[in-house]
């Protein structure tokens, strides 16, 4: 079956179910608020207990981000206006200006796997040739950015705590995106100011910060493995096809049930890129009904850890390689 045929086939799964969407939002937001409050109370017993609860709560924060993600695609509610406002409110919790993120993410969907349109909504990825043509400083900077400790330690903090405070990627696209970023910043500042005033610095350090940081790290990891795997696909504009890039350039991260729930089925990423209007709670129907999609670009947890050492796209072998593998290639 040709990749473009999936667009028609998957259209039948696009319809969101209002009662299901409300249910999924409720069973995510209510526990998140409850655990937040419980962790705050636990500070009176032990800051370590509070931090432990906060780290558990990161799983609900990740799920809230995935619901925000569905709202951005118009997949969570039929009423786009309602979905957008839910997304904006959730953006305060996830430290993400919704309208800015939605625009950048739509560019990501429209350009994923395109070597000539890199730079918005994706992670820096060089080809072997481009890496070799860089100066010593350029190669060193790229190796730093792609180092797993930097990529999953520093980058999540930078993205969610610093970069998201400005409409990066849409700086000149109009006042709408500036308003999105600044209004989100103001809401976050007001919320954190109230929490600090009522509970003190300890609440911010032992409750807010661990939840937000672990949620950010988890988000970056999932975004990474969904496109940065050995047999992914990258092409120049003349050979690039959006459906093929979606099907072959996005992984099916096959996770255990609890992780599928926490991440709102985002691991079924190849299907999501083929038809981004499908609500996350219907993605499992797709792989159940279409076995070929259940076997396509499948990546297990064990296999995914190897992805962290893949850094360069080799246009000859059409594989993502490690620095050492690329070094062994003839020049």
213-248: pLDDT as tens digits? 999 999 999 999 999 999 999 999 999 999 899 989
Higher-pLDDT residue of 131 and 172 is 131
How many domains, the chain? 1
Q: What is the pLDDT of residues 58-110, one digit of tens each?
A: 999 999 999 999 999 999 999 999 999 999 999 999 999 999 999 999 999 99
Q: Is the pLDDT of residue 285 over 90?
A: yes
Query: The domain containing residue 236 runs over which residues?
Result: 5-327
Residue 161 CA: distances (Å) to CA of 66, 154, 157, 213, 311: 18, 11, 5, 9, 25
Structure tokens at 44: 């009176």
- Secondary structure element (H or E) that encloses residue 203, with its range: helix 201-203
Confidence at residue 231, expressed as pLDDT on a 0 to 100 scale: 94
Say how many C-beta atoms besides its own lie within 10 A of residue 212's C-beta. Answer: 22
Mean pLDDT of 275-286: 96
For residue 153, pLDDT beyond 70: yes
272 C-beta neighbours (distance < 10 Å), count: 25
Residues 192, 197, 201, 203, Cα dihedral to 10°: -70
Q: Is 255 helix (H, G, I), strand (E, B) or coil?
A: coil
Q: Which pLDDT score, from 0 to 100, does residue 4 have?
A: 65
Q: Specify the higher pLDDT residue, 3 or 199.
A: 199
- Provide the residue count of the chain: 331
Rounded to whole angstroms, the Cα distance separating 91 from 188 reads 9
Is the pLDDT at 26 greater than 80, yes or no? yes
The rounded mean pLDDT for the chain is 95
Q: Quick check: helix, strand or coil at residue 227?
A: coil
pLDDT at 2: 63
Antiparallel, parallel or unpaired: β 298-299 and 312-314: unpaired
3-state secondary structure of 326: helix
Other residues' Cβ atoms within 10 Å of the Cβ of residue 186:
11
Q: Is 103 helix (H, G, I), strand (E, B) or coil?
A: helix
Q: Is the pLDDT of residue 3 over 80?
A: no
């Amino acid at each position: 079956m040709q990749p473009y045929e999936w667009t028609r086939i998957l259209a039948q799964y696009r319809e969101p179910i209002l009662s299901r969407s409300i249910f999924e939002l409720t069973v995510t937001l209510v526990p998140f608020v409850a655990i937040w409050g419980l962790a705050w109370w636990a500070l009176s017993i032990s800051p370590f207990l509070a931090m432990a609860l906060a780290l558990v709560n990161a799983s609900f924060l990740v799920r809230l981000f995935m619901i925000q993600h569905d709202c951005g695609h118009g997949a969570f509610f039929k009423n786009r206006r309602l979905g957008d406002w839910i997304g904006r409110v959730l953006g305060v919790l996830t430290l993400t200006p919704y309208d800015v993120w939605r625009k950048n993410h739509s560019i990501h969907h429209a350009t994923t796997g395109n070597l000539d349109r890199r730079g918005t909504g994706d992670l820096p990825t060089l080809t072997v040739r481009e890496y070799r043509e860089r100066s010593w400083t350029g190669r060193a900077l790229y190796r730093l950015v792609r180092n797993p400790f930097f990529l999953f330690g520093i980058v999540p903090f930078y993205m969610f705590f610093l970069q998201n405070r400005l409409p990066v990627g849409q700086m000149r696209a109009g006042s709408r995106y500036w308003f999105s970023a600044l209004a989100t910043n103001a809401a976050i500042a007001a919320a954190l100011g109230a929490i600090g005033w009522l509970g003190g610095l300890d609440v911010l350090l032992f409750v807010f910060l661990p939840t937000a940081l672990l949620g950010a790290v988890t988000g970056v990891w999932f975004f990474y493995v969904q496109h940065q795997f050995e047999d992914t696909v990258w092409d120049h504009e003349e050979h690039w096809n959006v459906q093929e890039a979606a099907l072959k350039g996005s992984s099916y991260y096959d996770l255990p049930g609890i992780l599928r729930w926490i991440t709102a089925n985002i691991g079924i990423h190849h299907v999501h890129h083929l038809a981004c209007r499908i609500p996350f709670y219907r993605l499992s129907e797709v792989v159940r009904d279409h076995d070929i999609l259940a076997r396509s670009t499948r990546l297990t947890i064990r296999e995914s850890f190897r992805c962290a050492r893949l850094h360069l796209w080799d246009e000859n072998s059409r594989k993502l390689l490690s620095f050492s593998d690329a070094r062994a290639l003839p020049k």
